[in-house]
């Protein structure tokens, strides 16, 4: 059974970004505590997804392609306020805070997260046309994520889209990549979950509205 999420636009920036209103599942990781920071991130006050109108429409196309394969998209993050990016930066500079290391960066020294590009002071997400997502299948009454080889936001070379050369997870990554590329998105090669609309409408604008 499909779970429909009826969301409404944020009036403060409805002309630029709109809510995702479809059968796509939303698990806004930065709204909860299951993320590399280990707490709710600044700017996330609701389990919602906002994107530029162009990106939202393209994502609906991707969802239709997924449904044809008896799958669904599941979104982890969409538009990301600059205040959230600033929160990430503060977290990365606090080298004593290692409570999420085992789950999100077990093989990396936290001091290298900046130099290796896992954390940055600006994010394409803040432009409103980038989305982090995976594929899920409905089985035995629940939605189950497909095996992608690593979890979302796993800071490790294994998370690179083409780091796996064979196997189920490798194939699942390629299925997601194919769906998203047909819909007009391009993949960030270091993260299998990260896609940006090729023709994004606000390529130089970094929004800072709360998600609520």
pLDDT in tens, 19-55: 987 799 999 999 999 999 999 999 999 999 999 999 9
Kindly tell me if the per-residue pLDDT of 6 is higher than 60. no
C-alpha–C-alpha distance, residues 20 and 57, integer Å: 9
Long-range contacts of 163-172 (CB under 8 A, 24+ apart): 172/135, 172/146, 172/147, 172/148
Q: Is 121 a catalytic residue?
A: no
| CATH number at 11-197 | 3.30.1380.10
Rounded percentage of the chain residues whose pLDDT exceeds 90: 90
Rounded percentage of the chain residues whose pLDDT exceeds 70: 93
pLDDT band of 5, cuts 50, 70, 90: very low
Q: Which tens digit of pLDDT belongs to each residue from 129-156?
A: 999 999 999 988 899 999 999 999 999 9
Instruction: Provide the mean pLDDT of the chain.
Output: 92
Those residues whose C-beta lies under 8 Å from the C-beta of residue 14, and which sit 6 or more positions away, are none
Those residues whose C-beta lies under 8 Å from the C-beta of residue 66, and which sit 6 or more positions away, are 72, 73, 135, 179
Listed by start position, the domains of the chain span 11-197
Strands 25-26 and 72-77: parallel
* pLDDT at residue 121 in the model: 96
Instruction: Please identify which of the residues 54, 181, 191, 200 carries the catalytic annotation.
Output: 191
| DSSP character string of 166-183 | SSHHHHHHHHHHHHHHHT
C-alpha–C-alpha distance, residues 153 and 203, integer Å: 23
């Amino acid at each position: 059974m499909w779970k429909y999420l009826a969301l409404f636009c944020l009036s403060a920036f409805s002309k630029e970004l709109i809510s995702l209103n479809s059968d796509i599942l939303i698990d806004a990781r930065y709204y909860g505590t299951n993320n590399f920071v280990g707490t709710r991130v600044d700017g996330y006050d609701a389990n919602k997804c906002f994107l530029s109108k162009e990106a939202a429409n393209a994502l609906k196309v991707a969802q239709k392609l997924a449904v044809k394969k008896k799958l669904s998209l599941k979104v982890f993050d969409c538009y990301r306020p600059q205040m959230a990016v600033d929160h990430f930066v503060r977290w990365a500079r606090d080298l004593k805070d290692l409570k999420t290391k085992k789950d999100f960066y077990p093989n990396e020294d936290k001091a290298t997260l900046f130099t290796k590009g896992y954390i940055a002071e600006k994010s394409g997400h803040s432009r409103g046309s980038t989305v982090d997502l995976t594929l899920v299948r409905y089985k035995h009454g629940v939605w189950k994520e497909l095996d992608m080889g690593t979890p979302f936001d796993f800071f490790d070379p294994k998370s690179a889209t083409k780091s796996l050369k064979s196997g189920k997870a490798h194939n699942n990554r390629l299925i997601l990549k194919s769906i998203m590329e047909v819909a007009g998105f391009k993949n960030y090669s270091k993260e299998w979950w990260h896609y940006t609309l090729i023709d994004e409408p606000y390529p130089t604008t970094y929004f800072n509205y709360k998600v609520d």
